[in-house]
Structures are given as C-alpha cells and as structure tokens.
Amino acid sequence: MYEIIPQSIPQARRAEINEKILADIESGENRIPRQTIYNCYTGVGGLHDLNPDQFANYHEYACAKREFEQGQFFTPHALCRQIVSLAASDPTETVLDMGCGMGNFFNFLPNLHNAYGFDIDPRAVKVAGYLYPEAHIAVQDMQQYEPAMLFDLLLGNPPFNLKFGNDSSQFYYFRKAYSVLKPAGLLLCIVPYSFLQNEFWDKSQIRYIDNCFSFLGQTKLPQDTFEDLGVAEFATKLVVFSRESAHIESRPYREDEFITQEQLRERIARFREIKCSLKLKLRQETNRIELEEEQAFEYTMTKYLYEIKTHPHLRPKYEQAIALVSKFRSQTPPENASKTQYEEYQRSKLTYAKVLAILRRYVREQHFVPQRKVALVKTNYSYKLKAYAPHLLDDIAVREVPIYKLTINNGGLPDAGAWRTPDIEKQYRAARRVIGRKHREYLRQSIPYFQMPQDGRLTEYIEGLSFVNKDGKRCRFTDLQRHDMNWLFQKRFNLLNWQQGSGKTAVAYHFAKYIRSLKRVHNTIVVAPALAIEMTWEPFLTRQKKRYTRITQPRHLENIRPGEFIVISVSMLGKLKYWLKRFVKSHSNKLCLIFDESDELTNDTSQRTRNTLNLFRRCSYKILATGTTTRNNVAEQYSQLSLLYNNSVNMMCWCSKVYHQDRETHEIEDSPNEFYGEPFPAYGGASLFKSCFCPGKVTVFGIEKHNQDIYNKEVLWELNAKTVLTRKFREFAGEKYEIKNHVVLPCAGEKAVYEKILTEFCQICNLFFNSTGDTRKDAAMKIVRQIILMIKACSIANTMPGYTGEPFPEKVRHIAAMVRNIPQKVAIGCTTLDALEMYEDYVSAIIPNRPLFLVHGRQSFKKRRRIIDRFDRTTDGILVCTQQALKSSVNIPSCDDIILESLQWNIPRMEQFYFRFIRLDSEQKKRVHLVTYDESIEQNLLALVTTKERLNEFIKLGEIREESEIFEEFDLTPSLIEKLLTRQRDDDGKLYVSWGNQRIVAA
C-alpha cells in the first residue's frame, strides 16, 4: 500500500510532471519512485487549455472540453480510502473498477490478485499497471467491454455527463454495472449530485434502477472534492446499491434520502450479514445466471449437430454447421476498433440465438426435397414468389409487391416469367380475385362524400327508419339527414362530424343495424365516455327496445347473443383489455364499432387512445361520431383516422415533403418525405402526420403570428373529403342561435391584480401553487402558472392579492344585470367551482325571488339529471353550473339564454356546453353570451379559439375561412389582435409580457 502524501502541484506544471512520469515508466529506468508517481500523477482532467472566447457559445466549448478530457478526473486518494473502507471488501471477493484511471482504488484493496480494471486512456493504464502489477488492468472502452466473469464488488467514479448513445455516461455505467455484478453484488459509485435527483425528469431512469438494483443509501461529498484537479466547486455524492437478487428484498431508490458515512457503513455491514447468511443460495443464483444460457445453448447445439450428422439428408450440411460453431467460438471484436467499427461488429456478430436459428433451419429442411417449382404466396402485407429450390428466381427482378400497391393499381403481381405453370396460374387467379375485391372497396371508400351518388335501394330502406326520442315520440329523420345517411351506409368506415344536437346517436345506431341486416357482422360494440354511456346510449337503446349488455366485468362477455349491442365506457378498456381482445378475435373481427365522442382520441400517446387502437382497429365496420374532429390542431385527427383505417391503403401519405420547426429560429423547414406513396406507418405515424400537415403550434402568446398554417392542404383535404362527413347545426335547423360578445371594462382593482400577477408573480406564486420541490420544474412551469392566474383574475379577481374596490368584480355585476333583464330561464356556465360559488352567493342575494339551481362535477349523473329536470319545469329559473359538468349527453332545450362567464381553450369545448341548450327541435332562437374583460388574457383566449376554429373550418369545408368571417360569427371586433398580451424578450434576453399598448416587464 502506498502512503498518501499531500502534494501542492501548480496547475501550470501538472502536464509537465505527467509527461516526466510517463517517460520514466516507458524507459524502464525507474528513476522516479513508485510512491512519488502515486502521489504526483494527476491525469488529463482540467488540462484542456481551451479558451471559451474562442468558441461561438458555451455549448461548443463544453463539447470540446469533454472530448479532450473524456470525463477523466481521478478520485482523490483519501476519498478512495474512505470508499474502500465503507465497502469492507473481503480478500476472496472479486473487485472491478470500470474507468479505473491510474487505479487509485486498488491501493486499498486487501487482495490485488482479485482486482480488475480498465480505462480508455492508455497513459493512465500504463501508470496503473506499473503501480499495481498484480492487478488485471487493460485498455478498454466501457461501451465495448464484455465481461468474462461476474464480480462481487464494483467501485467507480465514471465519467460525468458524456453521451453514450441515448444515455448519459453515468446512467450507462449503471446499465453496464448490472451486467457485470453477481446477484447481491455491491456497487459504490461517485456521481454528480443532480444524477437521479428528480423524480419528474428522471422517472424512467429511476424505474430502471428500481428494477435492477436495491438501494442501500447515499451521502453527500464536499463541494471541493476535485479541487486539486482544477475543479473548485462541483456537487457530487456517493451512492451505494446492490444488484437485485431473488433471495433479498429490494429497497426502492429515494432521491431525497441522504445519510452520513457512518450510517452508510452500518447499512453496508447489515447487508453483508444478510448476504453471508445466504451465501449458498446466492452462489447457486450466480451459477445459474452464468451457466443457464450457456448450458441451454450447448445442449440444444449438441442435439442439432447430432441430428445433422446422423440424418442422411442432412449429412452434407454437417461441415457447414461445424464451421459455423467454430466461427462463433472464435469471434472477437477487431483490435483498436473505432466506435463505428465496434457497433458494426455488434450488429453482425454471431450470438446464441443466431447460431441456433441457422442449425434449426438445417434440421427443419431434412424432409425438404428441392423442386423446380415456384409458387405465388400471400403474406400479411404482400404477395411474393416463393422458390422451392435455390437460384430459381435469380433472373426475376421483382419478387414481392406490397398489398397496398396491388390494391391501388388493381394488379401488378410479381411475374413468375418462365415458371408460369398451370398450378401457379390458379394461384394468380385467386390472388386477382382478392385484389379485385380490395380494389373495389378501396375505390368506394376513396370517393369524396359530395361526389357520391345516392343509392336508390338505400333511399327506400332509409325512408322507413325512425327512432323514439326522450319524450317517447317516434321521430323520422329530416331530408338532409336521410341524404347523408345514404352516403354513410355505402361505406365501411365513416367519421360522422355533425355539430352537437344534429342526431348523430340515432344515425350511428341505424348504421350498425343496417350492417347487421346484411349479415356482415355478428355484433355492434359501442364505445363512449362514461357520461355518454350513462346519459345517452343506455337510455336511447332502452327506448328503441334494443337488447344490449353493459360491460363492466369479464363475465359479461360470456353470454353475448348474435345481433346484440355491447356497450362499454372508454375508462373500462384498460381493465378489460385481455378479455375484450379475446372476444374480438373469437369473432374474427366481424364486428361493427361505434365510437361516440371520438374527439376523446385526440392525444395519440394517451392510454385511452392506445387501448382503443389495440382492441378495435381491425373491426370490419366502423363509424366514429363527434361534434368536432379536432380541438386544437389537425394533428389530433391522426388517432381517429388510424382507428378507422388501421394504417391501410385508405390512409396513404401522398405528401412529397415534410416540415419541421427549427428549435432555435422557429422557422419551418422542409425535407423530402421518405414515406411518400406508402400508408402512414403504425409506428411513428403520428409524428409523420404532424410533419406533413401541422409542424407548428399556436399558443396563447402566438396568435398574432398566425402560425397555425396547414401544409400539404390538398392532400389533407382529399383524405378528409372521403372520410369525414361534416355538417354544421345551421344546415339542419337554420339560424336557431346567435353568439353575442360582451366586453366588460375592468375596474382599477382588477387591473391592479393583473399588474401584481405580471410584476410580482414570484412573491404571490406560493399563495396559489405548491412548489414541486424542483427548481428546474418550477421555472419551466412559471409562465404556465402565470397564465392560469391571469385567467383566474378574469373570473374571481376579488379573492386575489392586490384587489380593491367593490366586494364583487365588474363581470359578476354585469352578468347579474344581464340575468335580471332576462325574464325567462337562463344558464350561467363557469369553469371553476370557486366561480360557481361566487355566482351562487351574488345572484341569490340580488335576485332572491327566482329559483336557483347548481350543477357541478362532484354530483352524480343521476343527481345532475334530477336538478336539470327541476330547472326544466320552471319558467324563470337560473342555472349556475360548471361547463365541464354538462359537456355532453344532456339536453335542456327550454332555456334560451346561455352565458359563458369564462372561456375554455377551444370553441368545440365551449360548444359541447352551450349546445346542451340548442337542439334540432328547439322552437325559440337561442342566445349565447360570451362575457370577457377588455385588455386581458381573455382577448388572447378569444383570438386563440378563433385561430383554432379556422383550422376546424378547413376540416369541415376544405378551405381556410377568412379571419373576418370567424370574427363576425363570434361577434368579435378586428381590433382584437391589438389588445393581446404578448410574450417577448428585451435586449438582455429577459422575458417580458406586453399588454395592449402597455409594456409590463415580468420579474
């Protein structure tokens, strides 16, 4: 063991001293004592000699610095002694240091013959080998290291913050540690303090650590730990884990738990006692890990070789098989391989699985008799020529054609050329029949609705259809509804985008009944949100006297009769996924799917969307019904299209270019589309769809830039024209409602609240939001929280700091005055419970002689229904409710005035609320009142929702409506854009919020 003698080596002389030491070792003269080398060699960490001023930015400087240093900062000798002491290593234990540098940990180990290490720096390895000749030390890249054995203890100080593939170098170190440690093997490692220190940002990494390791503890290290290497302050910590074992209960990682070194020593000692008591079991577990795969391989390989050697038909393959096994046993990575060469070696090298697969193929071919024959065979995605002897297809250029190309072209099968025998001609005829049927279905599905002729047979059938409404009356469809139903019934896949109140439920019901009458499906599955199931579908099917089963448990799927409707809420799909999948397969996908409120699938990454696609994307017939296919941007259509078409030939990508938004300049850039002429892929299709049509996004601070453009709009319109049948409510019912915009001037107290939010947000933030405990996350959420508070100030400013003046805000008093002047029933839609309670207090106080009713999301569906029925029976009742509580499947046609005291993020969301009061059979004209504050964030919201509405209008009409038309429909003034709050940066790069013509700098 070398003695630790503290040295004071000037930073300027470190490189010179290192070179002298290396020269002495290489010369073999041994003029410098080993003790001196141990205390004076410091490696390349901190010796980069780079000037930040010579680089364009700090990122380039940091990259150059990391490239030179390779993360090499030797662990101080004293800290190595502490860590080895904590580990309490036994002489019989094998110890590994990955990235050992000059081997500082080895100096304190009890048995150097059991010490192993490697490093990518040959100079450091040369020093380590000179100081510790008994240890096994080599030049090796951690990414290329493949252990020949498993180890009891792993000590290390991995390079910090390098990029190893998609992982940071320290996390990659943990991945590698799992593969080199024995079960219950110990890992003591120095890492940056920030590593795995945030459950929000590091969620997936922490999950991996918990699956592979058991957490013993962590302790903070001094900030100046690496001061001697030129790093004055850098926060680090020592973490201790053990590899998971079947015999020791794992303890999850806790990022907030720090203990002293003495407490850590006690935990390691207790763990070693447990490990000692399980020594035999752990040894057996280690042997099983080391030998299980190899033994299984050897057994199977020996069996295959025996079969090949003894079977007369296989004997000619025996020499090839022996050569294959020899190549497998002797393969090694190329010496001094670059990273690219090593990655190529990893891809092409033989593995257990590859060797066994080749030998298995030899054995499987024992009864194969080569024939001079070629067949045309169908795979899942193509038709291809299959040769029954080698080299028969050498002269044929096209051997396989995807089914989507055959379907579009109605032919184009690969030509067998000289191998066109009578047998293969039969296969060609069968293939043409299949392709012809697919082509006819493709052509029918591809016709835009507005170009489709009316089917006379269907016209006669639809004339006789009717349904029973909630009043028990039998109703017939209008002429326009029957006209559209004729189109819908001709196609297998439809997206019914009729505005709320237009009769989608009845149309979808009769679509399913028609398909069943043709004997093309066994059953109909209705999927919808729980609210729509409870308040629309179950009552509707009951009124039609149609047998149905509500699925809430697996046993409900056991006794489904042919023709029966199956009703299930979206929230149950995850719970019943296994049983539903089995049910759909048992019926060979011959089912009709009705998905009501399909805009619930706008998020392609949500579990709801994934479950729906997994279960129902292969159903034979589908109809999706929604009041709006999108809420915010066209990319939200993708999941609905994917569910309808299953990423098939009906969902082709005909965009020659794709677009991406540059992260720095935010400019839109184009590039060639590698998927041109192919269906949108099931994996990655959502990203491609967005890149094709909507690469940018509109934000609450970005409205004035009009960055909600649609790209490749002709292609998108062609896709929508054949898929989405759109009608606005006015087309069915005429002018039955109007929208009125009321602008209220905020009082001085409300403006003071706004100014406080903008200028003193950091001081008041804790009054409304709890800290996440993560400053990085809090900073990222600052602007979002600021927006939330500004929206809140437009509703309940009187409850917020800085407010002065009347007890209730101007908007509340304005709305109360509106209610007083409306003698008949009126509804007030809020977006928060606080606002609902405030309107309840104020309205009941100033209008005490009129009945007041409250509805909110905390009430059950049945209670909401009872309250609405009571409100319906009044003549001058006042309904105060949250908009979310009445967003679908509730009808209140007797109320003619609807007031929205606060806006939501898009018009479809608000329409879901106010169309509860506007129905096809409404007798009186309805008035929708939007009440907003002038010069507030609500003007941004108005501009935001109208900008998004232009997008929704494109999906409905195939053209972008002028902004002035949208403004006119929603009773807005063109000066709206001038009143927006905008987010900008000043000359110092500091964010500020500009309000109208004012400018208020954010803190």
pLDDT digits (tens, 9 = 90+) for 410-437: 989 999 988 889 999 999 999 999 999 9
DSSP 548: E
Residue 826: is its pLDDT beyond 90?
yes
- What is the residue whose two structure tokens read 């309840």? 840
Give the whole-angstrom CA distance, residue 591 versus residue 581: 12
Higher pLDDT, 921 or 256: 256
Q: What is the mean pLDDT of residues 586-591?
A: 94
Q: Are strands 652-653 and 678-679 parallel, antiparallel or unpaired?
A: antiparallel
Instruction: Work out the average pLDDT over 744-752.
Output: 89
Tokens describing residue 436: 């012809």
pTM for the structure as a whole: 0.68
pLDDT, tens only, 133-166: 899 998 888 887 877 788 999 998 888 877 777 7
Alpha helices in 489-599 (DSSP H): 504-517, 530-532, 538-543, 577-586
CB atoms within 10 A of CB 852: 16
Mean of pLDDT values over 937-959: 65
β pairing state of 236-243 and 998-1000: unpaired
Say how far apart CA 633 and CA 697 lie, in whole Å.
Answer: 8
Q: Give the whole-angstrom CA distance, residue 672 versus residue 223.
A: 50
Whether residue 122 is predicted with pLDDT greater than 80 in this model: the reply is yes
pLDDT band at 661 (very low <50, low <70, confident <90, very high): confident
Pairing of strands 897-900, 926-933: parallel
- Identify whether the C-beta of residue 193 lies closer than 8 Å to the C-beta of residue 226: no
Q: What is the pLDDT averaged over residues 746-751?
A: 88
**773 — alpha (psi -120 to 50), left (phi > 0) or beta?**
left
| DSSP secondary structure letters along 402-448 | EHHHHHHHT--PPP-GGG--HHHHHHHHHHHHHHHHHHHHHHHHHS-
Backbone angles phi, psi at 103, to 5 degrees: 80, 35
Q: 267: which 2 tokens?
A: 């935990």
Amino acid letter, 890: V
According to the model, what pLDDT value does residue 705 have? 39
CA dist., res. 438 & res. 382, Å (int): 13
Q: Stretch 635-651: mean pLDDT, rounded?
A: 93
Identify which of 214, 253, 260, 254 has the alpha carbon closest to the alpha carbon of residue 238: 260
Burial 232-269 (b: 16+ CB within 10 A, else e): eebebbbbbbbbbbeebebbebeeeeebebeebbebbe
CB 794 within 8 A of CB 937: yes
3-state secondary structure (DSSP) of residue 646: coil
Is the model's pLDDT at 93 over the cut of 70? yes
Give the model's pLDDT for residue 228: 63
Cα–Cα distance measured from residue 652 to residue 866, given in angstroms and rounded to the nearest whole number: 49
Contact 209, 196 (CB under 8 A): yes
Confidence of residue 352 (pLDDT cuts 50, 70, 90): confident
What percent of the chain is predicted at pLDDT more than 90?
42
> What pLDDT is attached to residue 944?
64
Cα-to-chain-centroid distance, residue 76: 43
Identify the band that residue 889 occupies on the pLDDT scale cut at 50, 70 and 90. low
CB atoms within 10 A of CB 928: 23
Residue type, 916: R
How many whole angstroms separate alpha carbon 622 and alpha carbon 612?
A: 12
CB neighbours of 6 closer than 8 A, spacing ≥ 6? Answer: 39
Residue 47, pLDDT > 70, answer no
Spell out the residues 6+ positions from residue 947 whose beta carbon is closer than 8 angstroms to its own: 698, 703, 706, 708
Tokens for 554, please give them: 């697996």
Query: How many other CB atoms sit within 10 Å of the CB of residue 174?
Result: 23
**63: confidence class by pLDDT, cuts 50, 70, 90:** low
Instruction: With CA atoms as reference, report the closest residue to 915 among 930, 924, 928.
Output: 928
What average pLDDT does the segment 526-546 reach?
A: 91
CA-to-CA distance for 331 and 889, rounded, in angstroms?
A: 67
Mean pLDDT of 503-522: 95
Neighbours of 457 (CB within 10 A): 9
Six token digits for residue 189: 């490692």
Q: 827: which residues sit within 8 A by CB, 6+ positions away?
A: 878, 879, 880, 881, 892, 895, 897, 898, 899, 917
Between residues 479 and 39, the one the model is more confident about: 479
CA 540 from chain centre, in angstroms, equals 36
How far from 642 is each of 213, 624, 636, 867, CA to CA, in Å?
Answer: 39, 12, 11, 40
What is the phi-psi region of residue 582: left when phi exceeds 0, alpha when psi lies from -120 to 50, beta otherwise?
alpha
- Given a cut of 90, whether residue 871 has pLDDT beyond it is yes
- For 778-796, write each residue's pLDDT tens digit: 776 777 788 788 888 888 8
The confidence score (pLDDT) of residue 792 equals: 87
Residue 500 has pLDDT above 50, yes or no: yes
Q: Whole-angstrom Cα distance, residue 441 to residue 407?
A: 9
Predicted confidence band of residue 578 (pLDDT cuts 50, 70, 90)? very high
Check: CB of residue 568 under 8 Å from CB of residue 549. Answer: no
Whole-number Å distance between alpha carbons of 496 and 724: 6
Cα separation, 106 vs 552, whole angstroms: 63
Q: Residue 977: what pLDDT? A: 41
Predicted local distance difference test score (pLDDT) of residue 58: 45
DSSP 8-state symbol, 217:
E
Q: 629 near 421, Cβ under 8 Å?
A: no
Report the pLDDT value the prediction gives residue 78, as an integer from 0 to 100.
86
Q: What is the largest CA-CA distance in the chain?
A: 108
- Band (710; pLDDT cuts 50, 70, 90): confident
Least confident of 529-538, 664-673, 705-714: 705-714
pLDDT at 995: 40
Strand-pair partners of 768:
none
How distant, in Å, are the alpha carbons of 123, 867, 876, 881 from that of 871? 85, 6, 9, 12
The predicted-structure confidence for 832-859, as pLDDT tens digits, reads as follows 999 999 999 999 999 999 999 999 988 8
Give me the chain's average pLDDT, please: 84
Q: Is the dihedral of CA 548, 551, 552, 557 positive or negative?
A: positive
Distances (CA, A) of 533 to 475, 525, 539: 21, 12, 9
Share of the chain above pLDDT 70, in %: 87
Is residue 49 within 8 Å of residue 81, measured between CB atoms? no
pLDDT digits 0-9 by tens, 384-414 = 999 988 889 988 999 999 999 999 999 899 9
Examine the pLDDT at 70 and tell me if it is beyond 70. no
